[in-house]
Amino acid sequence: MNATPSSTDHRDHTYGTDHAYGTDGTEPADREGRTVHLDTAGWGTMPAAVRALVADCASREDRYGPHELEEDLEDVLRTEVHERLGALLGVPAADTVVVTDAAGAFDALVSRLTPGRGERVWTTPYESAARLTALYALRDRTRCTVEVVPLREDGDLDLEWMARHIDDDVALVSVVHVPSGCGIVNPVEEIGQILAPYRCVYAVDASYSAGQLPVDAGRIGCQLLTGDGWRFLRGPYAVGFAFLEPRLRAAFEDAAAHRPLPPNAAVAGLNAALAHHTATTTATAAADGPAGLAGQGLLPALRAAVEECPGTELIAPGRVQSAILAFRHRDLPAALVRRRLAARGVALWKTVAQETPLHLPRSGATTALRASLGPDTTPQDIARFGRALREVVREETAGAQRPRPARTLPPAPTPVLAPAPAPIPPAGPRPRPSARRHLTLCPTP
């Protein structure tokens, strides 16, 4: 699959092209010497062992060629990574596939679905732009109808509406477990129970939940589950995964045959990241319980740091929240705040309305900031973030309120009249050529 940072999300977008780097080209860090990375949802920092493995694979591929590397990694590529994915998702290893990104995998399958004319496709206001594009293409191709599941007043999906309106005319239901623009956790298991008696294909996007929340495709009851490997799983970029029910496998493989595969080094890196995630999750859950996964125990402190800053507004719909927190400032542009935080050694993501076009504009925001916790986030990181945010807001707000000196315009120059153009002599009779010209016919011999 082609990687689609929409979902999409790539390294440069994590900081933005206007990222404030140090004079030596390194990432910014304040006097404490450590960059506070609060963008695990955009790009999880790879563990040292995973980074070293990916670098080694790239070096071997450069020296010996891709085919030699593929032979060396045969067990990893064909067996080991699928076993780890099956364990992560609670499904048979044979039902997993490795792709370049979740959005591409979803598009590949949807492009092969053939709902009847007038049949219904359900999505939610939290759907990403990439998946909406695939759904609208399906609608235009098959003349099906795309319906948006309504929200309750608290921002949760209206499950009662779904239970009342579901029938066998619904051909596809697409739900994002955790959206990119805010931290709500949608009840994918409860939705699966509502849909189970019906024939629809249930597709779940776990890009922003895999690695920070338990994701069990068997308990969810979905037929398709997709995810990215470089977010909370902290693998390399350009590699993701999907679970497919066997009845969808042929259609998916037919579409995927025409799309590029992820690099072998990236797949090996994902396999190592899955092993690291399993080991650390087991240890963390034993010590702190499920709340300790992906730094979720620090979410109240992160929320308090934002709420204590004057002028900030949380974008946190729903009753259940993940390790992602979106917010904005009433008066300051999100891009400006992000740049100033980056200069102080705090990395966040600036999200825009186009990423979740059915949700963020409805909240009144065109841009917002998104902070996301990771397993390496510490209470000291949250404290530094809170201090930096208050400093930025105080300085920029004071600068905006400071009166500016009136601009003094230079006097306008005195106009200079151009001289009158020289008179043009009247046109006389057109001169005739000195000799008459004739058309001469030459007989052929």
pLDDT at site 23: 38
| 397-445 per-position pLDDT tens digit | 987 666 656 666 666 666 555 565 666 555 555 555 554 444 444 444 4
The full DSSP string for 50-85 is: HHHHHHHHHHHHHHH-HHHHHHHTHHIIIIIHHHHH
Q: What is the maximal distance between C-alpha atoms in the chain?
A: 112
Q: Around 396, how many Cα atoms within 13 Å sit in the side-chain half-sphere? A: 22
The closest alpha carbon to 37, from 383, 380, 371, belongs to: 371
Alpha-carbon span 377 to 324, nearest angstrom: 13
Residue 414 zone, left/alpha/beta (φ > 0; ψ -120 to 50; rest):
beta
Alpha-carbon span 325 to 292, nearest angstrom: 16
Residue 89 tokens read as: 């998702």
pLDDT at site 257: 86
Q: Do 152 and 127 touch, CB atoms closer than 8 A?
A: no
pLDDT at site 16: 34
33 three-class SS: coil
pLDDT at site 406: 62
The closest alpha carbon to 367, from 346, 386, 395, 339, belongs to: 339
Residue 189 tokens read as: 């298991």
pLDDT at site 109: 96
Alpha-carbon span 239 to 43, nearest angstrom: 12
How many whole angstroms from its chain centre is CA 52? 25
pLDDT at site 9: 39
Residue 347 tokens read as: 């990395």
Residues in the chain predicted with pLDDT less than 70, given as ranges, are 1-33, 283-296, 400-445
pLDDT at site 281: 81
pTM tops 0.85:
no
Backbone torsions φ then ψ of 224, nearest 5 degrees: -140, 130
pLDDT at site 26: 41
| 273-324 per-position pLDDT tens digit | 999 999 988 766 555 554 445 566 899 999 999 999 999 999 999 999 999 9
